Amino acid sequence: MQVFKFQKNTANIHSSVVTIGNFDGIHLGHHALISTAVQEAKTRGCVSALVTFDPHPQEIVHSKKSVSRISTSVHQLRLLEKIGLDELHVIQFTKELSQMPPEEFALQFLIKCFDLAKLVIGYDFRFGKYRAGDFKLLETLSQKYNFSLEEVAPVQEKGQTVSSTLIRELIQEYRFAEIPSYLGRDFSIYGEIVHGEQRGQKLGFPTANIQPGITLALPNGVYVSKIKLAEKTHFGVTNVGKRPTFGENSVTVETFIFDFEKVIYGKYLEVIPLFQLRPEKKFSGIEDLQNQIKQDIEAARNYLDEHDLLTALSSS
């Protein structure tokens, strides 16, 4: 999959089937929409392309409000590649762009940017100033500029419409077991293992650290976690937060992997939270923190034993 930053004059334009949106999490509804575009492109012998925005439009429209995310950027790319998408086009979203009339937006970012064979949109897609652009406007433009248009219906699961909002609510309520019904997989945090401050090593509990680079939908705290690394599954304890004991400001995902001693910097780790042990808190000193980590590890092992997860892992 090729990734492009949007340019007004795109060279070597190919006939394309295009979809557009934010697609946080690539849940079952997103998957249905993107898969429709990918399959349609294959049928027509076209390129499949997805147009998205960075930062999230709501962070510009409501400038003091950060949007919590289900997936990291690197995870989004991995999931899109799995679906079979050919191209990802990223538009830098600005205040000026939020004020653009809908027809002008469609012309500049869709019709003039692509040799548009077909546009595939979600049932709730809106665009342009005041989000006034809708299916009816695109239908008029499709007749004028000779491209096909398809609106994909919402996906329903367990009597509910699958949406990023629903999944964020489940994450924030720690209802992790319910999420796969809507997300199509376990909720997880995926990213590259980076060098930290080596504090875990000094405390006697070395951790594999991910810098998510986004505002996570997952509340800060300490979790029992399942870990996927190089096709193997492990268990451990994960701290999500700003490490207030040490006065940090950025959120880091730190995972102590049980019975594991390999050096894995630069590898990609997937952390699946199973249960929140406690919220994040500030400790009075290193000794208090060490004692709490020991208690967290014991509580995590007890949770895994009670749910027969370690037994299931050893027998697989």
Q: How far, CA to CA in Å, does 100 sit from each of 65, 67, 169, 237?
A: 21, 22, 31, 47
- Which among 141, 160, 179 is the end of a domain? 160
> How many domains would you assign to the chain?
2
Are both 139 and 253 inside the same structural domain? Answer: no
Query: What's the confidence (pLDDT) of residue 12?
Result: 59
Residues 131 and 205 in one domain: no
Q: Does pLDDT of 11 surpass 70?
A: no
168 is a domain residue: no
The CATH number of residue 147's host domain is 3.40.50.620
Q: What is the pLDDT of residues 65-92, one digit of tens each?
A: 778 999 999 999 999 999 999 999 999 8
Residues 145 and 202 in one domain: no
**Per the domain annotation, does 179 fall within a domain?**
no
**Residue 50 resides in a domain:** yes
The last residue of one of the domains, among 109, 141, 160, is 160
Same domain, 94 and 209: no
Position 294 in a domain = yes
pLDDT value at residue 201: 57
Residue 119 counted as domain residue: yes
Mean pLDDT over 229-240 rounds to 94
Q: Give the residue, 177 or 251, on which the prediction is more confident.
A: 177
239 found inside a domain: yes
**Parallel, antiparallel or unpaired: strands 268-279 and 15-20:** unpaired
List the beta bridge partners of residue 48. Answer: 17
Whole-number mean pLDDT of the chain?
90
Residue 198 has pLDDT above 60, yes or no: no
| Omega before residue 55 within 30° of 0, cis | yes
167 assigned to some structural domain:
no
- pLDDT, tens digit, 9 for 90 and up, residues 105-138: 999 999 998 999 999 999 999 998 988 999 999 9
Residues 238, 122 share a domain = no
Q: Within this chain, do residues 214 and 138 fall inside the same structural domain, yes or no?
A: no
The per-residue pLDDT for range 244-289, each reduced to its tens digit, is: 555 566 889 999 999 998 888 899 999 999 999 999 888 877 888 8
310 and 238 in one domain? yes
Same domain, 93 and 8: yes
* 174 within domain boundaries: no
Report the predicted TM-score, pTM, of the whole model to 2 decimal places: 0.90
Least confident of 7-21, 61-75, 134-148, 177-191: 7-21
Predicted local confidence at residue 56, as pLDDT: 82
Whether residues 228 and 104 fall in one domain:
no
Q: Tell me what pLDDT residue 270 has.
A: 97
Burial degree of 99 (CB within 10 A; 0-12, 13-18, 19+): exposed
Instruction: Tell whether 212 and 134 lie within a shared domain.
Output: no
| Same domain flag for 110 and 150 | yes
**What tokens were used for 162?**
């699958």
Both 145 and 194 in one domain: the answer is: no
Exposure letters 102-126 (e unless 16+ CB within 10 A, then b):
bbebbeebbbebbebbbbbbbeebe
pLDDT for 27-42, tens place per residue? 999 999 999 999 999 9
Domain that holds residue 141: 2-160
Q: Is the pLDDT of residue 151 over 70?
A: yes
pLDDT value of position 33: 97
From 115, 140, 160, give the residue that closes a domain. Answer: 160
